[in-house]
Structure 1
């Protein structure tokens, strides 16, 4: 009997000591400027009392008496734009990986669960958003009432939240006739949306399903129904860290939107932006990248070498294809022997475009071109053969153009350096204890040692904080102070530094591979999480 009791106690202790894990939240979004309840769902949540969000929300109270759910009262700043953000929880047993949720100006309702037939469609008083999950081998139906001349925007947010759902939307009349359809809109990462203006007042149906008729708790979605514009990304698509910029918007329906001016917050990896039509009740959302280089915007007309937009390396190049067959010329000065790299960003930003890049010499002769078979979004590199003014020509792959077509090019001078990455997104240790992070190194014409540093953690001690000469990996050891508080949660980054030539080169360790494992359904994991590692302080055994 004593042996049985001992085994039970051991198993119970082991289960209790497991780190918290998250699957989703309810509601699927929080309203800006409000204090509201947020329930996080998952496993091992008993005792979870610390909530972290990527949008500065404050947890006022916590009730975590259930292993599969913890409830928080959360205050959200009124200044937070509509958009997709991350959250984590921590307890004395460790810290969770992130879960994605929205800040939304649409009120939330839960899916009825019984709305799997058109005859039992869930009525919606729009503007509203529904948090639900797809029905396996079936459909979800929602009923809306509209006036003649009303415009209705419908958006399924699923893959962008890490869901397995590959959504399909249909708008139907009550006789089942299809008025609009959407599947895999370009730039939405597998999600879809549509907008329709009704000629006749009455009731209509919204149908949601998975493209392969999958369903269940892993096939969650947030169905947004309102009067919001269809925005894909801001323009320019990036802003330099610490700068203030004015943004227009790119997307299928953006013609009435006013420009927005915003300043990048300190240490931000992206700048969330939202927009609504004049007099509108609901917002679209987008995000600008935050870069460490100057950002240039194409000056139309720039469709020839004579009218090329000038820039200096390194830089971000922001352009638009305003009409079909539009072409952009950029020009820069370079010296013989310099190595240059141009990397396109389109789908990862939300753009409908795919681009072709061509590098031309001062005489206009092509010396390098990207390939449509590139694994990424297109790139071109070359060693400059002689001093002079060179041209980068940017074309849309199949010569499309219009309000939803834009791009950004990272223009870099390739010099000796290195990059770091790790396969972990979180670590745990007790007060006075340690954790390790293995770092992989990709070197570029630099064999020397790399010094490691951590920022975002106070009072820690580092060991093995140098990667040896020519090494392709290293393991950093971090020891917490005895004053670390069990149940607390911090986010930090690892910085590599090396003396190369007359200057110091720095590189933040990326966590891309860890994020791809966490969000396998997302073609482009959340950029703002890349490089951020969470520390959960555990109780001492």
Structure 2
């Protein structure tokens, strides 16, 4: 990782922040207080447990709970309004905020901890419908016994990899004599990120066995899974894949077991901070719930293909819009026509599938009115075209499956929109720790689209925290470096705890205001064992842990406040000591622009001030970087890092 990013990250997370393993149990019933055991490291002195859903949460004080660094008991009662799904859990202690862990809520009965699962002969009996949790161990399989009647159509769905577990699960059915059932195996179900889904129709009454194991016979404490068993729908994705923000819509379902499932009536939130909502498939109003699917929230008009859209007369679509379609059968293709008003009109045409649960792989081709091919996507790259019309007129988008496949899972969303300059933002962290009367910086990366101007950064969150930051014109110098940072300042007296925030970037482009909410998807994916597609509705949230003030504080002042490239500036750092603190403090500077350097002095035990010289060069970019001084010292035998409130150094010619 580049030095600039490493410097900023050093002041964001504390060395003794808690680290969570998978919670136990993995499944928490809706509306029912449940004892949840958290394990990991640095769990002592808890301040708060935060979920992304409404819930009653208490941390019992009995039996020295909260004193053990490796174990913590929490009582959680999720509100019934949450519905089934994946949800986020974090722990904040006096020393920082934890990594994110996913748990499940469900309406299915939860099977209590079972014994004997590691041997077929002692397999415990489960009664569908139910959800049971387990852990894969190396060179071993888990076995469960159940009864079924002739004609029963039962679903066995494993939630493992999608849970952020490292397990690669498979599920297999056997009869009572241990013989594998025909069509009784699943591994890597379409759209399930290597998790299996099995829908099996039983041919006879009897007792059966279900086996769950890692495909490579691996195992360990992080190879956890949940298995849902019952007669409920199996949806791979929503259909349509997207709905328009602020509008009422009907959301249907695509997948191997959704016949007879009615669409769900929803009103899409208008909040631009939400990337997606979730919809739950059911057989009938009061039927058992299938696992929910994500529905994209779009700023455009959202349509559904008119079947058959593969006729010679292509379906006309407005620009901009999104349209969802299906490859119903092998070799299926769809055509959509749109109008260019003038020569050189520029359009961005792209297809989305896997990020919304569909396994389809799409090939896009642009045709003119005579059917001549003008452009085509590259099979090894994302299906996206930056198309410039050679003349005014009608053009057709031919949508095909890359492998000519078809079926109930093969869904896509096509988006056609005029090209507009803009940018996308990514926050390099999904969590940050900040102390009262101190600051922290969130590094922000940018991908520009024909816009090189500045971007003003801000924070959406609770009252009390303030934030500011700017991505300078043309930044960053290196693609892997952060373009800028958002400095968060915490006042004295702000309540200690954990709160979710979002980072927003604003700019004026061609006279129009543009607002973009930053994504945390790379950090979220990394927190979930590099899960390729983490839950979309969690992909814009940053957890901020507000901690009690430190026994020392730093303040910085820069002089001069504005320099030309090639000139130097000096930061004067003042140290305030509290509560008898008398240790030396090592200083580092974060947020330096490209082609600038700074020294790293130490404030001695008997001193309270130091100076840092910032040296710029002739090729240092102009801008107004926020500089943060981090001070590290020993407190109670452990390293403690405190950041000074940011100061702005203006660099201009």
Between the aligned partners of 2:406 and 2:502, the Cα distance in structure 1 is 40
- Any idea what SS the aligned residue of 1:119 has? helix
Residues 81 and 272 of structure 1 are in contact (CA less than 8 Å); yes or no, is this contact kept in structure 2? no
Count of paired positions: 521
Equivalence for 1:444 = 449
Between the aligned partners of 1:48 and 1:359, the Cα distance in structure 2 is 58
Equivalence for 1:505 = 514
| Change beyond 3 A, Cα 1:309–1:520 | farther
| Deviation (angstroms), 1:78 | 2.2
Any residues of structure 2 matched to 1:359-398 within 5 Å, and which?
359-374=366-381, 376=382, 378-398=383-403
| Deviation (angstroms), 1:62 | 4.6
413, 432, 436: which one pairs with 1:408? Answer: 413
Instruction: Confirm or deny that 1:325 pairs with 2:328.
Output: no
| Unpaired segments ≥5 residues, structure 1 | 1-15
- Any idea what SS the aligned residue of 1:306 has? coil
Between the aligned partners of 2:316 and 2:133, the Cα distance in structure 1 is 46
TM-score by length of 2: 0.76
| Change beyond 3 A, Cα 1:304–1:149 | closer
| Deviation (angstroms), 1:69 | 3.0
Equivalence for 1:46 = 44
| Deviation (angstroms), 1:125 | 1.9
Residues 101 and 528 of structure 2 are in contact (CA less than 8 Å); yes or no, is this contact kept in structure 1? no
Equivalence for 1:196 = 200
Between the aligned partners of 1:226 and 1:157, the Cα distance in structure 2 is 14
Equivalence for 1:457 = 462
- Any idea what SS the aligned residue of 1:289 has? strand
Equivalence for 2:628 = none
Any residues of structure 2 matched to 1:264-279 within 5 Å, and which?
264-265=268-269, 266=271, 267-278=273-284
| Deviation (angstroms), 1:127 | 1.4
Between the aligned partners of 2:114 and 2:530, the Cα distance in structure 1 is 26
Between the aligned partners of 1:401 and 1:128, the Cα distance in structure 2 is 32
Equivalence for 1:481 = 491
Between the aligned partners of 1:125 and 1:476, the Cα distance in structure 2 is 52
Equivalence for 2:118 = 116
Equivalence for 1:8 = none
Between the aligned partners of 1:140 and 1:111, the Cα distance in structure 2 is 13
Cα deviation 1:383-417 (Å, max 9, x = unaligned): 22222222111112222223222111233332222
Equivalence for 1:164 = 166
Cα deviation 1:298-342 (Å, max 9, x = unaligned): 1122113514141321x2221112233222111222232233222
| Deviation (angstroms), 1:264 | 2.8
Highest Rg: 1 or 2? 2
Any residues of structure 2 matched to 1:515-530 within 5 Å, and which?
515-530=524-539
Farther off after superposition, 517-526 or 122-131: 517-526
Equivalence for 1:429 = 434
| Deviation (angstroms), 1:379 | 2.2
| Change beyond 3 A, Cα 1:77–1:244 | farther
Between the aligned partners of 2:336 and 2:119, the Cα distance in structure 1 is 55
| Deviation (angstroms), 1:422 | 2.4
| Deviation (angstroms), 1:210 | 0.7
Cα deviation 1:397-440 (Å, max 9, x = unaligned): 22222322211123333222222222111111111110011112
Equivalence for 1:212 = 216
Instruction: Confirm or deny that 1:253 pairs with 2:263.
Output: no
Equivalence for 1:468 = 472
Equivalence for 1:26 = 24
Residues 280 and 289 of structure 2 are in contact (CA less than 8 Å); yes or no, is this contact kept in structure 1? no
- Any idea what SS the aligned residue of 1:187 has? coil
| Deviation (angstroms), 1:56 | 2.5
Between the aligned partners of 1:309 and 1:50, the Cα distance in structure 2 is 53
TM-score by length of 1: 0.91
Farther off after superposition, 400-409 or 60-69: 60-69
| Change beyond 3 A, Cα 1:251–1:455 | same
Residues 416 and 446 of structure 1 are in contact (CA less than 8 Å); yes or no, is this contact kept in structure 2? yes
C-alpha RMSD over aligned residues? 2.0
73, 76, 82: which one pairs with 1:74? Answer: 76
- Any idea what SS the aligned residue of 2:313 has? helix
Equivalence for 1:4 = none
Between the aligned partners of 2:392 and 2:89, the Cα distance in structure 1 is 50
Between the aligned partners of 1:100 and 1:305, the Cα distance in structure 2 is 48
| Change beyond 3 A, Cα 1:390–1:57 | farther
| Change beyond 3 A, Cα 1:389–1:41 | farther
- Any idea what SS the aligned residue of 2:158 has? strand
